[in-house]
Structure 1
Amino acid sequence: MSPDLSQIVKAYDVRGVVPDQWDESLAEVFGAAFATVTGATALVVGHDMRPSSPGLSRAFARGAASRGADVTEIGLCSTDGLYFASGHLDLPGAMFTASHNPARYNGIKMCRAGAAPVGQDTGLAEIRDLAQRWAATGLPAGAATPGTITARDVLGDYAGFLRSLVDLSGIRPLKVVVDAGNGMGGHTVPTVLDGLPVDLVPMYFELDGTFPHHEANPLDPKNLVDLQARVRETGADLGLAFDGDADRCFAVDERGEPVSPSAVTALVAARELAAHPGAVVIHNLITSRSVPEVIAEHGGTAVRTRVGHSFIKQRMAQTGAVFGGEHSAHYYFRDFWNADTGMLAALHLLAALGTQDGPLSDLVASYERYAGSGEINSTVDDQAGRTAAVRAAFATEEDVTFDELDGLTVSTPGWWFNLRASNTEPLLRLNVEAGDAAEVARLRDRVLAIVRG
């Protein structure tokens, strides 16, 4: 009996437990289906440090080559390293990673040439359906002339390209602690920062897809504790934390205090608008109100989107936006094929901090204007019913407005919150922002009483 691929093909990628839900034989089928659906005559494949990644990646390459596609294997890389290769070589690509998920998981992030995303509406559903059929019947006869599989190292080119996008020539010496979480940041950071006046303090740079020290998900505060302590111990200027596939980057200041991704978005937006006056900057609806405020103050046009990289990338392409940021620390750049790269955001932070004398806490203070709850998840059976109950409870409030761009956003001049359903789990996700922590707590508790009641 062939597996049900709808269980592992998500909205934006493939992700599941290896070998329970998928294995190298299915990876080969996915490779053949990807080459067929995209019509690729050549493509690039990379992988992270998980124990299952090399075998899955090579199987995918064999499947694509069986359809006649020439495959360039770039080996170990970050997800944004794969996007670089796709853009730089102008080839469709596939990245084998499950990001911050536990070691038993693996997945595939796919893109068309120029790092254009492949999601359910842009080819992934067709790839799933074809792979489902071939998993049941076996692969049909391949191309008369199979494609080639060759290796290519692009890490140096990737690092050089990122460095070409940010002027770091005049920065002062900085001590920087980097927690790679045993993920791909341990592979990319030394090359990207090589030659800069940076005293690098590495943490967990050993590539280990079993994540022996902590989960490689800096969005969860408990995974920043080690970094915060090391920054304080060493007197560092800042700390950076990357997730498992190193496409997201989080920062802590010289006191070990987290810098919100919204503040990083605002800071990078201001820098990009200085270089591109009047440009469009994208932000999702969970980012702080400080983000559109800063964009307007620097002469840019803020465009608000739903949460999710496919929506951000689509709006960037439509509007010609120079930059986009999300609350989850995904940062997108026009100069990087509209793809997300935490490493480039990190270089902007280093450039901004290194060209002024004050500490990072002072630099970001003007961007940290409000108090926020962070994302709070609640398990509920009736997501729509609970959301409707929340809307009804606030309907009589003065100066309240509602919008449903993505879930339910309830706003007043002094505060806002968003409640939205997970696409994959029976969860409602709540984010609250207000002028101070006490007001955030009041709103949070009021909404959660309805959601969980």
Structure 2
Amino acid sequence: MHRCHPIKAYDIRGHVDDVTPELARAVGEAFASLTGATTIVVAHDMRPTSPALANAFTDGVTTTGTDVIPLGLASTDQLYFASGTLDLPAAMITASHNPASDNGIKLVGPGASPIARDTGLEDIHTYLHTGQLPHQPHSRQAPASAGRLHPADLHDAYTHYVRGLVDLDGIRPLKVVIDAGNGMAGHVLPDLLEDLPLAVVPLYFELDGTFPHHDADPMNPANLTDLQAAVVANGADLGIAFDGDADRCFILDEHGAPVPPCALLAWLAERLLARRPGATVVHDLLTSAGTIEAITEAGGTPVRSRVGHAFVKLAMEAHGAALGGEASGHYYFGHFWHADSGALAALHVLDVLGHSDQTVSHATAPYRRYASSGEVNRRVRDAPAVLKAVEKAFEGRGFIDRLDGLSVSLGSGRWFNLRPSNVEPVVRLTAEAPTDQAMDELRNDVLEVIASADERAPYVPGLTEPTETGDVAQ
């Protein structure tokens, strides 16, 4: 039916030549059949191709007799709000942080519940190939009538709800530079920040899915240079950067230096635990040991999760967690249907900083306890064989677990995780140790084993490649 099916581990995403209206229509039809819902919410971001994809997806849904609530322009967390408030399945047309040449579809169940490969995307993939869902072996009867559209504007309700989740009364005046990246943060932030004692220096709030200034991917340091310069030039208290669909945020301190997402999670957790002693905080297995230590020291209960929003959300639901976070800059909130929201994370940052007399650099310094490699990517011929070789090389040297790929804890604050990509012939390495030298040695030890196990992964000491996925290391 389609020449390419860009279905990833947690969403549908790829080049616009592959993510076409034809594909969107088929996915809409499959999603409606899969959920069995009477109504589905649909929204889209600011990319030039997004309205047409949203319309095509809507057409696919309504052909099954299912109604649609079209929200129009929205951030991903606004879609989560709609799904949670209305308790309906929902679809967001976005490619998140990907370049302008891409687009995609994020799907959630009622209450913003996660839909990933094992919870629906594989069924949709089957439908795209066969025209049938696995649990529908026979042809479906055509509905008596097409579904209807019920347009809704939930922007004000979203703003009121999110502002009500954060205590911003009495915060001190702050100067903040915000880089919306021409993405959906420019759509939601003006109303969320209204009437707060903030001197906001806005960068790139105009919605423009061609990204004329830089890609809306704050994980790439090259995309932070404008924000860093503006923070320093304006003598700001902090800088905040968002990705394209505004479900992630990144923080810069008053010197323009990026705050590691793990340190930010620890900072937010400490504030939360002062108000809710004993609360559970979920973290992915790439999170710094310093963050886990800080959560425990503050009286919280840290819970480890696999990487990826579906796994973090499920862990939060299972443990009744109040807060969750990933090393990729996603932050999840118990009172927000366990979903991630860049805007809500930013408001919590303003809360914790605004009720303190500390600078960002001083406040987050205690959580930067270890040296991290970041994510190092290597292309390989046979990822399972590489993982097996690495496991054999480190067998007997530390504790090994396989929650997500291969994790090895070597003691004295040294650990690494090696995971295969779900969508390309790549293994992804993250290593951590107490010092830069110890981290370099550990990282290079693992890279040397990878290189010896696979000729496509040359060993180059000190070479670190940034993640190619941003939202989740697939």
TM-score higher than 0.5 here?
A: yes
Counterparts of residues 42-121 of structure 1 (less than 5 Å): 42-121=39-118
Q: 1:23 aligns with which of 20, 23, 30?
A: 20
Q: Which residue of 2 aligns with 1:39?
A: 36
Give how far 1:352 is off: 0.6
**Structure 2 counterparts to residues 146-295 of structure 1, below 5 A:** 146-295=146-295
Q: CA deviation at 1:142?
A: 4.2
Following the alignment from structure 1 to structure 2, what is the Cα–Cα distance between the partners of residues 4 and 322? 43
Report what 1:349 is aligned to.
349
RMSD: 1.8
Secondary structure of 2:339's aligned partner: coil
Aligned to 2:440: 441
8 Å CA contact 2:418–2:428 kept in 1: the answer is yes
Which secondary structure does the structure 2 equivalent of 1:57 belong to?
helix
Instruction: In structure 2, give the amino acid aligned to 1:64.
Output: V
Tell me, yes or no, if structure 1 residue 426 matches structure 2 residue 418.
no
Task: Tell me the amino acid that sits aligned with residue 431 of structure 1.
Answer: T
Deviations 1:195-244 (A, max 9, x none): 11111111111211122222211112221122111111111100011111
Inter-partner Cα distance in structure 2 for 1:74 and 1:307: 30
Q: Deviations over 1:370-395 (max 9, x none)?
A: 12111111111122233333333333
SS at match of 1:258: coil
Structure 2: tracts of 5 or more residues without a match? 133-138, 453-474
CA–CA distance in 2 between the matches of 1:140 and 1:47? 29
Aligned partner letter, 1:409: S
**Cα distance per residue 1:36-60 (max 9 Å; x no partner):** 1101111111001111100110111
Aligned partners of 1:179 and 1:240 also within 8 Å = yes
Q: Distance in 1 between matches of 2:8 and 2:3?
A: 12
Structure 2 counterpart SS, 1:259: coil
Q: 1:198 to 1:443 in 2, by over 3 A?
A: same
- Aligned equivalent of 1:320: 320
8 A Cα contact 1:155 1:191, kept in partner = no
For the 8 Å contact 2:44–2:94, the answer to whether it is kept is yes
TM-score, reference length from structure 1: 0.94
- Distance (Å, rounded) in 1 between the aligned partners of 2:231 and 2:280: 35
Aligned equivalents of 2:215, 2:61: Cα separation in 1: 32
1:140: how far off? 7.0
Amino acid at match of 1:51: P
SS in 1 for 2:18: coil
**Deviation for aligned residue 1:421:** 1.1
Give aligned-pair identity as a percent: 53
- Partners in 2 of 1:356 and 1:254 — Cα distance? 14
Partners of 1:385 and 1:65 in 2: how far apart?
A: 46
Question: In the TM superposition, what are the counterparts of 1:272-421 in structure 2 within 5 Å?
Answer: 272-395=272-395, 397=397, 400-411=398-409, 412-421=411-420
2:62 maps to a residue whose letter is A
In the alignment, the residues of structure 2 paired with residue 14 and residue 394 of structure 1 have an alpha-carbon distance, to the nearest angstrom, of 36
Distance between the aligned counterparts of 1:8 and 1:390, measured in 2?
30
Deviation at 1:452, TM superposition (A): 2.8
Deviations 1:283-305 (A, max 9, x none): 11100012221221122211111
- What CA distance in whole angstroms lies between the structure 2 residues aligned with 1:217 and 1:310? 21
The number of residue pairs the alignment matches comes to 445
| Deviation by residue 1:389-416 (Cα, 9 ceiling, x = unmatched) | 333333354xx22222112222212311
Alignment of 1:122-133 (within 5 A): 122-133=119-130
The SS at the match of 2:423 is coil
**Aligned partners of 1:112 and 1:118 also within 8 Å:** yes
Name the amino acid aligned to 1:313.
K
8 Å CA contact 1:242, 1:250 repeated in 2: yes
User: Helix, strand or coil: the match of 2:296?
Assistant: helix
1:9 partner letter: I
Instruction: Measure how far apart 1:256 and its partner are.
Output: 0.7
Corresponding residue for residue 10 of structure 1: 8
Corresponding letter in the other structure for 2:246? A
Q: Within 2, Cα distance between the matches of 1:208 and 1:141?
A: 42
Judge conservation of contact 2:19–2:104 (CA < 8 Å) in 1: no
- Which range moves more in the overlay, 400-409 or 169-178? 400-409
SS of the residue corresponding to residue 283 of structure 1 reads strand
Q: Please, what TM-score do these two structures have when normalized by structure 2? A: 0.90
Q: Which amino acid aligns with 1:225?
A: T
